Structure 1
Amino acid sequence: MNLKFFAYRTALLKTKRGNNRGVFSNAKPLLVLAIINAIEEGVVIGNKIEFTNKELEDIYRKVSSKSYNSNCDVIRANAKVTPFNMPFFHLNAEEYYHIKWKTKNEKPSQAQSPSSKYLRENIDYAYLDPELWDLLQDPLVRDDFRKAIINHYLKEDKE
């Protein structure tokens, strides 16, 4: 593996999570998992992650409703799902994920959580760094990143 692989793996594992009264949200890492799965399934192509892509939103909901053990196996499917618009917008605070706004004047601050309607009306699409996108075209890289995210953020039986 090359330096870009390790740099992006590290960046993914440094994704900042929301904290509500001491409870961390995994919505952003879960959206990253959904994007990885969507790339694999051919749902996201050309490095255009569209907010209106219902297949991507369905993958996000499916990934979000699961919990994982340390072997990356699904152990239950009843977790509460954060609305799709929240991580779609807030992931923009990370260095590897970007939103292309229809106009520069439309961009709200990261402190705000815009509605789904607002995002549909004002975003062209989101995209990953081109180097990360290229790395994610490799099934082995996708598998490694997926396992790293699950083990870092989602496994229930932490040793």
Structure 2
Amino acid sequence: MASKPKSFSSKSSSGGLTPWLGIAFIVLLLDQITKITINKTFRWGEEMVVTPFFNLVLAYNKGAAFSFLSNESGWQRYFFTGIGIAAALFIVYLLKKHAGQRMFCWALALILGGAIGNVIDRILYGHVVDFLDFHWKGIGHFPAFNIADSAICVGAALFVLDELRRVNK
């Protein structure tokens, strides 16, 4: 029997790019559905108490994480959109190159889905839609965030865990 070309067999043994793009797409879909729902259900600044430590609130963030640069004149919209697009392209390259490294690719796929979700917000609205508001007994509220931000944080944690695991081998 003729053997399969090396590139085909290595690609099929590693699972290829498709599963990782699928995970990123699921994150993106959940992110956008929740943002559309909250935008249609709440007015800006409106808050709904869910538990003693968690609220839903419609907030807009023109900056980056923790509202970094949100009070600037508007240039940050294009800056963070460009960074998000560049990061997404680089992540797709890394996913293609390392498709067989499961935890690494899980991390990248989560980050990719979140990054694209926030880029879509910046393009469509000029800001990122945030709605998850956690707080603790008079200490104060954490900055509001969304599903995309959550996926990016989980992906970053998996990335660190994967690197620590790799270093310990």
Higher CA-based Rg: 2
When normalised by structure 1's length, the TM-score is 0.28
Could you say which structure has the higher helix fraction? 2
TM-score normalised by length of structure 2: 0.27
